[in-house]
Chain A
């Protein structure tokens, strides 16, 4: 689970300041640090790679535009970005729910690698795929909260800020989401290798 420390938080803000002062290297570092996580979150929430890439690019574009006016200490860069991504995802989900064509499910995991340990990787990929399918059956807000908490590794107060709800609401969303996921995934445990793990 990846949780940013205070040092890392300051590092993102400092890099953004360097970018605002004309340092192109800082833009590259920020992109390497933040964009993959934004893409991963958007992909797990939307289930569509093309849409997720658009969301990640749009969120980073908004960060570049915000850079000259960024106020250090008021917001954490990564939290601000997750909030932008969450809002962009919500907009797209609403458009889907209003009758637009839903995005197709893309496999989140990479294809199996034919190297030693490949069987274990295949098993992990199968579990990740099963989780993705189960996630897409959740209500949108539950899905966002569960992904932010248990895959992106954010804290409940951070998620509350991102989703613009209270911490108790976050706890409720993640608890209900996990119960629904467990109900779906427990039936697949044999197929996903849990017999071998002793489950």
Chain B
């Protein structure tokens, strides 16, 4: 046999034998590698909407926010009869003169500490 024949065929046969007999992967090595992976695994990074949901307090927090918003809009559009129409009075500058507005002023002063008559 010439060396060139061995180069082309015989040597490849040795390489094929090496590829066909890979060293086994020891179970303890795999366990060590996985332990390293667990120790160095970055913290889970949830999607932005999950982060926002958690920042707002989850279902309870978001439910409260929605309820408060709806009630606020409802009161603003159709305030109950026994509540002063503060927004309308402040904007219109009608904070005095009538018996009704005086009662409202007393209520504000007693409850919130505002003395609207000083202004």
Contacts and interface: CB of A to CB of B under 8 A. Distances in A.
Q: Do these two chains interact?
A: yes
Nearest to A126: B17
A2 B16 CA distance: 11
Interface residues of B, number: 36
A59 to B, nearest CB: 9
Contact of A186 (B6, B24, B30, B38): B6
Contact of A31 (B12, B33, B40): B33
Given A22-B44, A128-B17, A182-B10, A40 B37 contact: no
What DSSP secondary structure best describes chain B's contact surface? helix
A181 B43 contact: no
- Chain A interface size, under 10 / 10 to 19 / 20 to 34 / 35 or more: 35 or more
Contacts of A194: 10, 13
Contacts of B44: 21-22
Contacts of B3: 182-183, 186
Interface of A: 1-2, 19-22, 24, 27-28, 30-32, 35-36, 39-40, 43-44, 49, 52-53, 56-57, 60-61, 64-65, 67-68, 108-110, 121, 123-125, 127-128, 130-132, 150-151, 153, 178-179, 181-183, 185-186, 189, 194, 197, 199
